[in-house]
A and B are shown apart, each in its own frame.
Chain A
Amino acid sequence: MNNKFYKRLFLLPGLLLLIAIIIFPLLFTIRVSMSNWNVSQSGLDWAGGANWARMFQDGAFWSSVRRLFYFSFVTTALQYALGFAAALFAWKGIAARRFFRVLWLIPLMTTPSVMAIVWRSIFREDIGAANGLLSKVGVDPIAWSTSIVPATVTITIAEVWQWTPFMFLILLAGLLSLPKEQFLSAEIDGASTWRTFWSITFPLMAPISIGAILIRLIEASKIFDSIFNLTSAGPGSATETTAYYLYTRGLREFQISYGATMGLTYLILAILTLTILAQLFSRLSKPRGI
C-alpha cells in the first residue's frame, strides 16, 4: 500500500543523510587501520594486522583506557549523585527555586574548552585563585599541574562542574513529570522524606536515570576538551585518556593508521561496555515490578 511510501519517507532522508556523511569516514578508518599510511606519499599499502598487533602491546594505549574508565565512571557517578540532589532540592519546597534552577543550569550552557582555560587560570600554582585562597587560610600551595593526584582532581572538578547540570536538567524534568498520587499516599502514611525518596522517588525515576547515565557515559568517554586545555594530559601522561592519546598519535604525530586502529578498538570497547551496562541496568530495574 502507499503506506510503504510514507514509511520510507519519514525515516530514510535522515538515515541516508547520516549514512552519507559517515560512510566514507567509517570505511576509511577501517581500511587505513590495516595499512601504514604515510601522509607524504600517496597510495595506501596493506599492512594487515600489524597496527593491531602493535596496539595490543602498546602499554600507553591500555593505560589511557584504564584512566578513561576511571574518569568516565567516577565523574558520571559524581555528576549523577550531585545532579540528583540538586534536582530534588530544586523540585519543590524551597523558596526562589526558579532562581536556583537557572543558576544551576548555567554551567551546561558554557563552552567546555573555554571553561577549561578558566580552570587553568584558577589552578595555576603561582597566580591562580586556588592557591591564592588556600594561602589565605594557611594551607601550603598545591602543585596542581605537576603532581598526579592534584592534576586528576582538577580534571574531575572541571568535569563535574561542567556536566552535573546535564544530569540535573534531565532528572529535574523527570521529577516534574512524576504522577502525584504516590506521594500523596506516602504523606498520608507518614513516611519520612528519606524513606519516601528511596521507596518511591528513586524507583520511579529509574528509566530516566538509566537513560541519563548511559548517555552521559557515552559523552564522558570522549573527554578531551578539559584535558587538552587544562593539563595537556600531564603531568607526564597521568591524565592522558584515550581520546587524547588518539589525538597525539593519530593527528599530532601523523600516525593516522595507528590512530584509526585504536579508534576502532575504542569503538568496539565502548559498544560492548554500553550494551553490558544497558542489560545490567534493565535487569536491576525489573525485580521491583516497575
Chain B
Amino acid sequence: MNLNLRDVSVEGDNEVILGNISYEFQPGKIYVLIGRTTSGKTSLMRTIAGLIEPTDGEIHLGDVRLDEVPIWKRGIAMVYQQFINYPHHSVLKNVEFPLLRAGVSKADAKAQALAMIEKVGLTEFKDRKPSQLSGGQQQRVAIARALVRNTQVILLDEPLMNLDYKLREQLREEFRVLFKGTRDSVTIYATTEPSEALFLGDELLVMHEGRIIQHGKPNQVFEQPSNIDVAQIVNDPPMSILDGEIKDGSVQIGKTLNFALPAHIKTQSAGKYKFGIRASEVILGGSASNSEQGEVSLSEVSGSETLLYVKLNIGEIVLQLEGIHDYQIGQKVTVSIAPERIFLFKMDGSLCAAPGN
C-alpha cells in the first residue's frame, strides 16, 4: 500500500517546520531523506508516525486516512537516532514486546523474536539488558524490534549517527541485506551523509528548510542537482561555489582563472554565473592559465583523506586529497579546476548545466 502525503504542513511558533510536503511513497523501495540537521527530516518522520500533529494536509496509507488514526494503531515502526530500548527488559523481551502487543501468541512471539535476533547477529546476547551492550549492539536491538513486526512503514531517523565510523560502515552493509526482505514495506531512511544516501537509497528526497527541494534516483540527483542548495547537501564536503562570468566565449573566474568554454557550457549565454566544483575534482597544482594561487586556511584529516580549505582571491575552495598530508595554515598552494567538471548555476541558484558523463 502506498504512503501518500498531501500538502502536509507543520507550523511552529515562528517558523515553518514542514512546508507543503506532498509525496507518494511506494512499498518495496528504500527512500532516503537527505538534508541538514534542521531541514525537517526528523519532523517529517515524527509526523508520519503521529508524534507530531500536522497543522495542515493529509496522510493516507492505502485508503486509510492515517492522520486520523492514533499513534498506537498506525502500525508504523521507527528507529531513533539515540539507542532507544526498554532498559528493564532483556534483549529477547525487547524484541518480543511489539509482537505481544500486536496479539501474537507467546510461543510465536518468542520464535519470531529469536529469528530476528539471529538475523542481527545478537543471539548470544539475548538475555542481556540493553545497558550491558555496546552502542552498535543496542542499535541492532532497536532495528530488530522495528523489523520484527513487518509493518507497512518503517522509519529510520539517522540510526547510525551515534556510532563510530567503522561500525557505521559495517552496519550499512548489513542494512542492505536486512532490508532486502522488506519488500512489502515503505522504508524511509534519514541521513545527512551523501555516501549513505547513494549506497542505500532507491530513491532520494532532498530536504531543506522544511521542504522537499528535489527528488529522484540518487545518481540522478547527485549528477544533476537542481540548485545550489541541493548541490551543497548531496556533496560531502559541500561543493565549492565561486562567482564568475561567461564573457567572450570563455569562463572568467576571478583574475587568473580563465579558460575556454567546456562542451557542456558552450550553449550558455554570457553574463554572471555561479560556478560549482566538487572537492574531489579540484586539482592541486596546474599551469598558469587555469590555476589560481591561494593560502591554506584549514587542513583536516578525515579517515584516509585530507581536506584542504584554501583561500583564494575569489572565495574559498575545498580540496579532497587522497592520503594523509601535512599542510600548514598560511602555506601557499596552487589549485586548478578541470573545466569539464564545472557545474553552472544561475545567480538565483538554479542549475544551468552539469558535467556530462
Q: Measuring CB to CB, which residues of chain A are less than 8 angstroms from any residue of chain B? A: 1-3
Q: A-B pairs with the 6 shortest C-beta distances? A: A2-B70, A1-B70, A3-B70, A1-B68, A3-B71, A1-B53
B293 to chain A minimum Cβ distance, whole angstroms, is: 44
Q: Measuring CB to CB, which residues of chain B are less than 8 angstroms from any residue of chain A? A: 53, 68, 70-71
Listed A/B pairs (6) with beta-carbon separation below 8 Å: A1-B53, A1-B68, A1-B70, A2-B70, A3-B70, A3-B71
| Distance of A1 Cα from B70 Cα, bound (Å) | 6
B222 to chain A minimum Cβ distance, whole angstroms, is: 40
Residue of A nearest to B70 (CB): A2
Note all chain B residues with C-beta closer than 8 A to A3.
Answer: 70-71
Note all chain A residues with C-beta closer than 8 A to B70.
Answer: 1-3
B101 to chain A minimum Cβ distance, whole angstroms, is: 16
Note all chain A residues with C-beta closer than 8 A to B53.
Answer: 1
| Distance of A2 Cα from B53 Cα, bound (Å) | 13
| Distance of A167 Cα from B196 Cα, bound (Å) | 53
Note all chain A residues with C-beta closer than 8 A to B71.
Answer: 3
| Distance of A2 Cα from B70 Cα, bound (Å) | 6
| Distance of A3 Cα from B53 Cα, bound (Å) | 11
Residue of B nearest to A6 (CB): B70
Residue of A nearest to B71 (CB): A3
| Distance of A1 Cα from B53 Cα, bound (Å) | 10
Residue of B nearest to A5 (CB): B70
| Distance of A1 Cα from B59 Cα, bound (Å) | 15
| Distance of A3 Cα from B70 Cα, bound (Å) | 7
A7 to chain B minimum Cβ distance, whole angstroms, is: 12
| Distance of A1 Cα from B65 Cα, bound (Å) | 13
Residue of B nearest to A3 (CB): B70
Note all chain B residues with C-beta closer than 8 A to A2.
Answer: 70
Note all chain A residues with C-beta closer than 8 A to B68.
Answer: 1
A122 to chain B minimum Cβ distance, whole angstroms, is: 49
| Distance of A2 Cα from B73 Cα, bound (Å) | 11
B205 to chain A minimum Cβ distance, whole angstroms, is: 27
| Distance of A174 Cα from B53 Cα, bound (Å) | 37
Note all chain B residues with C-beta closer than 8 A to A1.
Answer: 53, 68, 70
| Distance of A161 Cα from B156 Cα, bound (Å) | 57
| Distance of A183 Cα from B68 Cα, bound (Å) | 51
B10 to chain A minimum Cβ distance, whole angstroms, is: 15
B118 to chain A minimum Cβ distance, whole angstroms, is: 36
| Distance of A31 Cα from B70 Cα, bound (Å) | 46
| Distance of A3 Cα from B68 Cα, bound (Å) | 11
B230 to chain A minimum Cβ distance, whole angstroms, is: 36
| Distance of A2 Cα from B74 Cα, bound (Å) | 13
Residue of B nearest to A2 (CB): B70
Residue of A nearest to B53 (CB): A1
B37 to chain A minimum Cβ distance, whole angstroms, is: 24
B241 to chain A minimum Cβ distance, whole angstroms, is: 37
B240 to chain A minimum Cβ distance, whole angstroms, is: 37
| Distance of A1 Cα from B68 Cα, bound (Å) | 7
| Distance of A1 Cα from B71 Cα, bound (Å) | 9
| Distance of A63 Cα from B71 Cα, bound (Å) | 59
B130 to chain A minimum Cβ distance, whole angstroms, is: 21
| Distance of A3 Cα from B71 Cα, bound (Å) | 9
Residue of A nearest to B73 (CB): A2
Residue of A nearest to B72 (CB): A2
| Distance of A101 Cα from B53 Cα, bound (Å) | 49
| Distance of A2 Cα from B68 Cα, bound (Å) | 9
| Distance of A3 Cα from B69 Cα, bound (Å) | 10
| Distance of A185 Cα from B19 Cα, bound (Å) | 47
| Distance of A34 Cα from B71 Cα, bound (Å) | 52
Residue of A nearest to B68 (CB): A1
| Distance of A35 Cα from B53 Cα, bound (Å) | 52
| Distance of A170 Cα from B53 Cα, bound (Å) | 39
B267 to chain A minimum Cβ distance, whole angstroms, is: 55
